[in-house]
Amino acid sequence: MFSKILIFMAMSAISSPAFTAPEEVILLHGLCRTSRSMAKMESALTEAGYRVKNVDYPSRTASIQQIADDAIGKAVGDCQKDGAAKIDFVTHSLGGILVRSYLARHSVPSLGRVVMLAPPNQGSEVVDKLGWLFLFKWINGPAGSELGTGANSTPNKLGPATFPVGVIAGDRSINWINSLLIPGRDDGKVSVERTRLAGMSDHIVIHTAHPFIMRNSEAIRQTIQFLHTGGFNHASAKLDVPQQTRRDYNQSKVVPNHFW
């Protein structure tokens, strides 16, 4: 009887599929937004086979460092409890600076790849020109005031990337006032040039505006491409999507503008 039990256990082990620890993706929304803004990205990544943690955090109440430690620290801890073999990040705007801040001070042994959507990696002239206003400070909080272009701004003090990161920038604007303050191509909040980060693995520009880039189908497709391969698909990039632009414009009538 004992020998039969051993044979049964051996056969079960052979026939059972090998356990594969999950690859998890942490989503981080932007300033003055919520996790709902990343819902379409969350669904797409889930369909692509990733386990997703769509993090909601208060973006207007503390410094970048404090928000990063609280929001990312908890999310990373939860992924580690899940036994994740690899932890990736997909971020929008401020979310990318949070990741840079966190990784500059903390080690994530299971770190995979990072995709940043419209990150102010070198700050934004909008903060330089409007950051002194009471209304700006009241709406955007301490973190928003840290996003200027000066040498002492938080993004510019964090240094180059030391991890695999791809940056997706937009070059359409629905905010002509902000765009007047920004030199070169921009998405209404950040110039294409200032999304770039020293040490980044890849960079691509798509035709969409800052508030909608995380819902843009091409941005989502390129995000999954980078997570899979470590690079964007430049050859097949759909860079001219006038229909998407019209949808973005229509959405802008109902989405509030927070300067950022």
pLDDT in the model for residue 22 = 86
- pLDDT, tens digit, for every residue of 15-31? 444 445 689 999 999 99
- 3-class DSSP assignment, residue 197: coil
Looking at residue 129, what is its pLDDT? 95
- The Cα–Cα gap between 219 and 119 comes to 13
Q: Name the token pair of 242.
A: 């006038």
Tell me what the mean pLDDT of segment 204-219 comes to. 97
Mean pLDDT for the stretch of residues 118-137:
96
Tens-digit pLDDT profile for residues 40-73:
999 999 999 999 999 999 999 999 999 999 999 9
The arithmetic mean of pLDDT across residues 155-172, rounded, is 97
Average pLDDT, the chain: 88
CA 161, CA 230: separation in Å to the nearest integer? 14
Q: Indicate the domain borders of the chain.
A: 21-251
Rounded to an integer, the average pLDDT of 175-191 is 96
Supply the angle between the helices 64-81 and 134-145 in degrees, to the nearest 10: 50
> Are the beta carbons of 83 and 23 closer than 8 angstroms?
no
Which pLDDT value is given to residue 228?
97
For residue 69, give Cα distances in angstroms to 64, 65, 72, 74: 9, 6, 6, 8
Instruction: Indicate whether 198 pLDDT > 90.
Output: yes
State residue 232's pLDDT score. Answer: 98
Indicate whether 5 pLDDT > 60.
Answer: no
Report, as an integer, the average pLDDT of 200-220: 97
pTM, entire model: 0.85
- Asked if residue 259 has pLDDT above 90, the reply is no
Q: pLDDT of 219-245, one tens digit each?
A: 999 999 999 999 999 987 665 444 343
- Hey, which CATH number is domain 21-251, 3.20.20.190, 3.90.550.10, 3.40.50.1820, 3.40.640.10? 3.40.50.1820
pLDDT, residue 236, reads 73
> Residue 237 class from Cβ within 10 Å (0-12 exposed, 13-18 middle, 19+ buried)?
middle
